[in-house]
């Protein structure tokens, strides 16, 4: 089953999605699709005044009246008379698994009793192996409020949080943008003109200028992409670009962006299995309501397209083709991070999500007999670390950050207006040692920051939320371990295990509790 974007322009695909969703709101993804046929749509660019590209082979442009074939060369894509894609913004308060119908109905009834028009939105897919096994990765998100603007949604979110209710916000594209898209050659001549959307493809990878692959900060590159390129109009009435391609081809561009191609084969294969499982488990989730699967930046996962291809990583993808991790009738969401600091973390410690039995905190210690961070004591764990599989990355395995009181107050106040900091209280921790919350007391107010990424961000982007904090006079010292969220596969841990000769199947299964390896083709 091919992704609809292969057959239709972006605006047309959005229209089909909206019509289908309105007719059967929870059945759009109900019929299981073949795992072997899955494609992904990746938003590479948005908010562009123009898009520059270079084609090394003839270029096909589809979606207009003439559908021209253009010679190899340099082109720019321009937009005029644009009207933005229309979005609405959901506030989601809770998620339920299929089969939890009674609890879900009761929860929705509670919100309706409060005067809220709560509804369930089905996220995710049912996918079928070639042997006929259906893996159901769907989840029901409960939308408790919907707004026509992001600003109104943020205000609604803040109001609910003041009432003690945490929510997360997701945008939904409900109508495509409109406008005139023109493709111009190097001399500025219009060689193709289309309404609202265009599909571009070439026999050779197409080079794009100014592709932003960053997350913490902007990181623009010139990169090549071999998939079908869909040009559309985003909610800011600017150009956006989405690539559609098979999952296995996508993985060949993901793997070298997520793990050094020079690493041992066992680590690369473990990463390939984890990345494939995570991609398939995530289909129809993060950005699906916006009309595409993933973004091309580190917000979703690092991806360098055809520019990133390396022989070793491509071989790891091919040699593990079709291999995924499953548990309890679902594909395991096999998340990964750079360095776990010697112990991974349980998912509910890091994110506001139900506990996943496959994403439990596990030891990454080389000997395997040491106590956990909590059992040993956090200060001793961080300052006198045991030998771990991931300790071959000294900068990520253990780290230290020092700030004066003035520096730290300035950093914190960029996100939380607490004023001059008087005290910082570290809250409870997960089994793997990551903080669940931090309370910051200041001259203006006291705030409690919860969950891993917000905690790291509050202090200027710390490598992880596994840290202890000491104050000596006017100096604050953060001593920590690990780099990244710490859930699932520890990449440096996988490297350490591979260097000791452990095969990739044992490596990847080590990090995901109770999972088993399946091949879908």
144 pLDDT higher than 80? yes
H-helix segments, 377-487: 378-383, 394-397, 405-413, 452-458
Q: What is the pLDDT of residue 175?
A: 94
Percent of the chain, pLDDT > 70?
93
CA distances from 81 to 84, 141, 236, 373 (A): 10, 36, 13, 59
pLDDT tens-digit series, residues 296-319:
877 788 899 999 999 999 999 999
- Least confident range from 17-21, 227-231, 310-314, 328-332: namely 17-21
Other CB atoms within 10 Å distance of the CB of residue 238: 19
Cα 24 from Cα 30, distance rounded (Å): 10
Q: Residue 333: how many CB atoms within 10 A of its CB?
A: 24
Average pLDDT, the chain: 90
pLDDT confidence band for 15 (50 / 70 / 90): very low
Domain boundaries of the chain, sorted by first residue: 86-173, 394-481
Choices 3.30.1300.10, 3.40.50.300, 3.30.420.40, 3.30.70.1070: CATH for 86-173? 3.30.70.1070
409, pLDDT greater than 90: yes
Which tokens sit at 295?
Answer: 């973004």
Q: Is the pLDDT of residue 64 over 90?
A: no
List the one residue out of 386, 317, 350, 367 whose CA is nearest residue 488.
350
Per-residue pLDDT of 314-371, as tens digits, reads: 999 999 999 999 999 899 999 999 999 999 999 999 998 889 999 999 999 987 778 8
Query: What tokens does 396 get?
Result: 């990520």
SS (H, E, C) 196-254: CCEEEEECCCEEEEEEECCCCCCCEEEEEECCEEEEEECCCCCEEEEEEEEHHHHHHHH
Write b or e for each residue in 293-316: b if 16 or more Cβ atoms lie within 10 A of its Cβ, otherwise e: bbbbbeebbbbbbbbbbbebbbbb
| Local confidence band at 32 (pLDDT 50, 70, 90 cut-offs) | low
Kindly indicate the confidence band of residue 19, based on its pLDDT and cuts at 50, 70 and 90: very low
The closest of 344, 370, 371 to 358, measured between CA atoms, is 344
pTM of the model: 0.87
Render the burial of 357-381: b for 16+ CB within 10 Å, e for the rest. Answer: ebbbbbbbbbeeebebbbebebeeb
pLDDT(25) > 50: no
3-state helix, strand, coil in the chain (%, to 5): 30, 35, 35
Q: pLDDT tens, 368-386?
A: 778 899 999 999 999 999 9
The contacts found for 420-426 with CB under 8 angstroms, 24 or more apart, are 424/469, 424/471, 424/476, 426/468, 426/469
Rounded-to-integer distance, Cα 249 and Cα 254, Å: 9
Q: Residues 87-137: pLDDT tens digits?
A: 999 999 999 988 899 999 999 999 999 999 999 999 888 888 777 788 888
């Amino acid at each position: 089953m091919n992704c609809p974007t292969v057959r239709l322009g972006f605006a047309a695909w959005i229209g089909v999605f909206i019509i289908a969703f309105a007719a059967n709101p929870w059945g759009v993804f109900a019929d299981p699709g073949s795992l072997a046929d899955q494609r992904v749509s990746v938003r590479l660019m948005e908010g562009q005044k123009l898009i520059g590209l270079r084609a090394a082979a003839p270029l096909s442009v589809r979606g207009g009246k003439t559908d021209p074939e253009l010679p190899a060369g340099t082109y720019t894509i321009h937009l005029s008379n644009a009207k933005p894609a229309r979005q609405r913004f959901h506030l989601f308060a809770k998620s339920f698994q299929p089969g939890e119908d009674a609890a879900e109905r009761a929860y929705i009834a509670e919100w309706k009793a409060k005067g809220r028009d709560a509804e369930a939105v089905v996220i995710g897919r049912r996918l079928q192996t070639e042997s006929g096994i259906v893996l159901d990765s769907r989840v029901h998100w409960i939308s408790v409020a919907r707004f026509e603007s992001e600003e109104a949604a943020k205000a609604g979110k803040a109001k609910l949080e003041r009432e003690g209710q945490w929510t997360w916000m997701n945008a939904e594209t409900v109508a495509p943008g409109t406008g005139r898209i023109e493709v111009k050659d190097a001399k500025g001549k219009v060689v193709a003109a289309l309404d609202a959307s265009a599909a571009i493809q070439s026999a050779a990878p197409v080079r794009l200028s100014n592709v932003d692959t960053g997350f913490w900060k902007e990181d623009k590159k010139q990169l090549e992409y071999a998939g079908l390129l869909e040009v559309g109009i985003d909610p800011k009435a600017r150009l956006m670009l989405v690539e559609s391609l098979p999952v296995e081809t996508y993985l060949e561009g993901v793997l070298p962006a997520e793990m050094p191609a020079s690493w041992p084969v066992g680590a690369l294969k473990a990463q390939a299995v984890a990345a494939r499982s995570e991609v398939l488990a995530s289909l129809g989730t993060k950005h699906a309501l916006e009309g595409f699967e993933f973004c091309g930046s580190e917000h979703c996962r690092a991806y360098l397209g055809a520019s990133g291809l390396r022989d070793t990583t491509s071989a790891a993808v091919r040699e593990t083709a079709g291999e995924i991790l499953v548990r309890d009738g679902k594909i395991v969401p096999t998340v990964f991070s750079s360095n776990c600091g010697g112990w991974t973390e349980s998912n509910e410690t890091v994110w506001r999500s139900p506990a996943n039995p496959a994403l439990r905190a596990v030891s990454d210690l080389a000997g395997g007999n040491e106590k956990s961070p909590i059992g040993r004591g956090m200060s001793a764990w961080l300052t006198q670390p045991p030998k771990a599989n991931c300790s071959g990355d000294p900068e990520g395995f253990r780290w230290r950050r020092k700030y004066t009181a003035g520096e730290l107050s300035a950093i914190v106040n960029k996100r939380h207006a607490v004023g001059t900091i008087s005290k910082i209280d570290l809250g409870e921790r997960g089994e793997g040692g990551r903080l669940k919350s931090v309370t910051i007391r200041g001259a203006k107010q006291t705030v409690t920051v919860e969950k891993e990424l917000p905690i790291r961000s509050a202090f200027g982007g710390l490598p992880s939320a596994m840290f202890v904090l000491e104050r000596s006079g006017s100096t604050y010292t953060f001593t920590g371990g690990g780099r990244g969220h710490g859930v699932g596969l520890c990449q440096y841990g996988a490297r350490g295990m591979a260097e000791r000769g452990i095969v990739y199947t044992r490596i990847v299964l080590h990090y995901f509790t109770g999972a088993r390896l399946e091949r879908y083709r």
